[in-house]
Amino acid sequence: MKVFLKETKIINYSNPEIQKLSKKLSKNCKTDIEIAKNCFEYVRDEIKHSGDYKDDIITCKASDVLKYKTGWCYAKSHLLAALLRANNIPCGLSYQRLTISDDGSGDKFSLHGLNSVYLKDIGWYRIDARGNKDGVNAEFKPPYEKLAFPIRFNGEKDFTKIYSEPLDVIINALTKYKTYESMSNNLPDILLN
C-alpha cells in the first residue's frame, strides 16, 4: 500500500497549494469516504477538462493542474491522486482504452485516465474525475462505480492493473504536445495487459 501513498515528481502533494486544498477538503470529515468524495468532486467540478474547453495549457504535474485549473483526464487524475495521498488515502492510477470515433468504428483509440482509491470499508474503488458534460455523468457512489465512459465497442477495454505512477506514454504526451490541437491529434494509446 505504501507505493499508493508515495509522493512522485508528477504526484507532488507536498506542494503548498495542494497541501492547503487537501486540508480544506478534509475539514470536518469523519471518514475516508467523505474525504475521497470531496476530493473527487473538487477535481471533477472545479478543474476544467482541457479537451472539453479546448485549452492550450497542457498540464501534467498535480501542482500545475491546480495552478492553471485545467487538465486532460490524465492530468486531472494526477491531481486527484495528490489530494488523496496528501490525506493519507491510498490512490492509484487506472486506465481504459476507448475508441475516439463516436460510431465505434475502432479505427482510432486512446487511453483514458482515471483513479482507483482504497477505501477502508470497501477496498479498491474506481473513480473518474474527468468532468461531466452532456452525455458524461461520473459520480462517487461507493461501492457502485459510475465512470464517465462504459466499455461499448470492440477493442475497448477496462484495464484492471492499478499503477502507482503515471504511464510513460501519458507523461511523454503531456510534456511533448503544447496545444489543444497537437494533444487532441496525438492522444496516447497502447495495449496494456
- CATH number of the domain where residue 137 is located: 3.10.620.30
Residue type for position 98: L
Per the CB < 8 A criterion, the answer to whether 52 and 73 are in contact is no
pLDDT digits (tens, 9 = 90+) for 133-171: 999 999 999 999 999 999 998 889 999 999 999 999 999
pLDDT digits (tens, 9 = 90+) for 119-132: 999 999 999 999 99
Of the candidates 46, 35, 164, the residue with the CA atom closest to the CA atom of residue 87? 35
Q: Which residues span the domain enclosing 120?
A: 2-184
- Is 19 among the domain residues? yes
- Is 193 among the domain residues? no
- Is 189 among the domain residues? no
Per the CB < 8 A criterion, the answer to whether 179 and 110 are in contact is no
pTM exceeds 0.95: yes
Q: Count the domains in the chain.
A: 1
Residue type for position 130: R
Question: How high does pLDDT run on average in the chain?
Answer: 95
